[in-house]
């Protein structure tokens, strides 16, 4: 097929020129197939999201039924569809909030942008237009729209001249990487909390609209927070009257072994950002779920301003909402969160064993999300030179062997679907071990 008109996102194009793309045309359970009929175990659940099985019959039936009944409609100007109402109720029911409001978007990025605009809207109504700075962490990932990219704490957004003003950073709680020689994990977490407080005090709490955090940093390389990090930072945010927004785009709906990453880490968010598993990859859909306090303020502000002047044409699409209700029901009824928890010892135990290999610096994760970070020198944790493209090399070789895993800088990310079986985890690790041995041998020879 002629792929010359495709503009690929987040793709190493030089590398792609030598390999060519993988063109997919079929999927079954946790497997995808390319146009040559080759079968791959998808160790990345699509992009963290296809967790109930690519061909779940209830999902397909739900989409067919909804397309027949009402194929599409917006949810603005006081119009709403039944599936959108059902999904708002379902989300409040499964959220940590007793009461709240839900706003629909088409993606996680748009949900983050929406949450920022909600905070700005509320603060401006309260006569605090200067309370608009947004704090996120270095290495965090919140999306690609101009707002969400400004929130994302990765250096690659420099090429766009981002972040915009008012988007500021605090430290990344990755103990293995940033802990000082001889520093305990507890002291490290205290230092991270102190860094956040220093940022708040330097900027002025009265200028800060919100702090956004992923319970586990996903696209930053699967970085679970250091011990007690969230326990230490929450009182600081409370003291300074700064809302905590949990970006649950990856963690939400079971990935960490609980329905929310916020449950796993005892986070009490003021607002939740959801997407990805919400439709198990069957439809683009994101949601902002506002808790009790923010809801009260929003209602006041919206009445005063007549409207919340924001909304997407396809936000709250009835097919997407019907699929989301179905996906959440499947996750709950088929006990998929329990399956994540059941598989965790096998998944994490198997991952940890890779730390015995010569170039694996850290194996980390939780639930069914994990990463292996490769280093040139295990003692000093010196990374490989970027030009060696270690992540790409491993992922490309694994793909030849029928395993999809993802390179993220020097790390390899694994996040299999929630329907994964123990046998599939065995396949994943056997294949990855073979792959790593071959790649490590190659680099030793070329050195
Ligand atoms: N937040 C987090 C934590 C994410 O991982 C992502 C996507 N990987 C996003 C936001 C952005 O979501 P989307 O790609 O749907 O815009």
109 CB near ligand 1 (under 6 Å): yes
> To test ligand 1's pocket by mutation, which of 105, 245, 250 has the most ligand atoms within 8 angstroms of CB?
250
343 CB near ligand 1 (under 6 Å): no
Task: State residue 375's pLDDT score.
Answer: 97
> To test ligand 1's pocket by mutation, which of 45, 145, 249, 260 has the most ligand atoms within 8 angstroms of CB?
249
Distance CA 361, CA 363 (A): 7
Q: How confident is the model at residue 263 (pLDDT cuts 50, 70, 90)?
A: very high
252 CB near ligand 1 (under 6 Å): no
Q: How confident is the model at residue 291 (pLDDT cuts 50, 70, 90)?
A: very high
Atom of ligand 1 nearest to the CA of 286: 15
Distance CA 338, CA 330 (A): 12
Q: How confident is the model at residue 1 (pLDDT cuts 50, 70, 90)?
A: confident
Res 414 pLDDT > 80: yes
219 CB near ligand 1 (under 6 Å): yes
Q: What is the mean pLDDT of the chain?
A: 96
Place of tokens 């748009």: 110
261 CB near ligand 1 (under 6 Å): no
Res 426 pLDDT > 90: yes
373 CB near ligand 1 (under 6 Å): no
CA of 53 to the centre of ligand 1 (A): 20
Nearest residue (by CA) to ligand 1, atom 12, is 108
Residue pLDDT, tens place only, 185-227: 999 999 999 999 999 999 999 999 999 999 999 999 999 999 9
Distance CA 176, CA 361 (A): 9
The H-assigned helical ranges of 279-406 are 292-305, 318-333, 336-353, 390-400
318 CB near ligand 1 (under 6 Å): no
Task: State residue 123's pLDDT score.
Answer: 97
Task: State residue 352's pLDDT score.
Answer: 98
Nearest residue (by CA) to ligand 1, atom 1, is 142
Task: State residue 289's pLDDT score.
Answer: 98
104 CB near ligand 1 (under 6 Å): no
The H-assigned helical ranges of 106-184 are 108-125, 146-151, 175-178
The answer to whether residues 309 and 296 touch, using CB atoms and an 8 Å cutoff, is: no
Res 13 pLDDT > 90: no
Residue pLDDT, tens place only, 16-74: 888 889 999 999 999 999 999 999 999 999 999 999 999 999 999 999 999 999 999 99
Task: State residue 207's pLDDT score.
Answer: 98
* Tokens (6 digits) for 161: 């001249």
The counts of H helices and E strands in the chain are 15, 15
Task: State residue 360's pLDDT score.
Answer: 98
The answer to whether residues 248 and 262 touch, using CB atoms and an 8 Å cutoff, is: yes
Task: State residue 316's pLDDT score.
Answer: 98
Res 446 pLDDT > 80: no
Of 333, 354, 291, residue with least CA distance to 418: 333
CA of 279 to the centre of ligand 1 (A): 14
262-266 contacts: CB < 8 A, separation 24 or more? 262/96, 262/215, 263/96, 264/215, 264/366, 264/367, 265/215, 265/225, 265/230, 266/230, 266/231
3-class DSSP assignment, residue 371? strand
3-class DSSP assignment, residue 386? helix
Place of tokens 């905590």: 244
Res 250 pLDDT > 90: yes
């Amino acid at each position: 097929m002629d792929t010359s008109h495709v503009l690929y996102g987040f793709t190493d194009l030089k590398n792609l020129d030598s390999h060519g793309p993988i063109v997919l045309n079929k999927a079954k359970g946790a497997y995808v197939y390319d146009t040559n009929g080759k079968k791959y175990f998808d160790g990345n659940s699509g992009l963290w999201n296809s967790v109930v099985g690519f061909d779940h019959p209830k999902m397909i039936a739900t989409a067919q039924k909804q397309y027949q009944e009402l194929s599409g409609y917006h949810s603005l100007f006081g119009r709403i569809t039944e599936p959108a109402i059902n999904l708002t109720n379902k989300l409040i029911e499964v959220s940590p909030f007793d009461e709240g409001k839900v706003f629909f978007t088409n993606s996680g990025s748009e949900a983050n942008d929406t949450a920022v605009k909600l905070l700005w809207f509320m603060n401006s109504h309260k006569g605090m237009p200067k309370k608009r700075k947004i704090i996120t962490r270095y290495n965090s990932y919140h999306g690609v729209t101009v707002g969400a990219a400004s929130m994302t704490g990765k250096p690659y957004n420099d090429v766009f001249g981002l972040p915009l003003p008012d988007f500021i950073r605090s430290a990344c709680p990755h103990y293995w990487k940033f802990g000082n020689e001889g520093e305990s994990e507890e002291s490290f977490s205290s230092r991270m909390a102190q860094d956040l407080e220093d940022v708040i005090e330097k900027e002025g709490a009265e200028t800060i609209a919100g702090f956004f955090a992923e319970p586990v940093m996903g696209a930053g390389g699967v970085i679970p927070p250091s011990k007690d990090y969230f326990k230490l930072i929450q009182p600081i945010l409370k003291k300074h009257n700064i809302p905590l927004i949990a970006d649950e785009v990856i963690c939400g709906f079971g990935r960490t072994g609980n329905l929310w990453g916020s449950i796993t880490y005892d986070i009490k968010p003021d607002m939740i950002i959801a997407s990805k598993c919400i439709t198990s990859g069957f439809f683009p859909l994101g949601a902002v779920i506002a808790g009790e306090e923010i809801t009260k303020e929003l209602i006041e502000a919206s009445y005063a301003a007549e409207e919340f002047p924001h909304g997407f044409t396809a936000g709250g699409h009835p097919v997407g909402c019907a699929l989301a209700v179905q996906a959440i029901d499947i996750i709950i009824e088929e006990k998929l969160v329990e399956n994540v928890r059941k598989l965790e010892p096998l998944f994490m135990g198997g991952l940890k064993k890779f730390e015995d290999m010569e170039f694996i610096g850290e194996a980390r994760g939780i639930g069914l999300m994990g990463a292996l970070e490769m280093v040139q020198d295990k003692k000093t944790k010196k990374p490989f030179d970027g030009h060696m493209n270690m992540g790409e090399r491993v992922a490309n070789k694994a793909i030849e062997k029928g395993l999809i895993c993802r390179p993220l800088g020097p790390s390899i990310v694994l996040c299999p679907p929630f329907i994964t079986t123990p046998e599939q985890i065995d396949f994943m690790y056997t294949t990855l071990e073979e792959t790593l041995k071959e790649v490590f041998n190659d680099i030793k020879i070329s050195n």
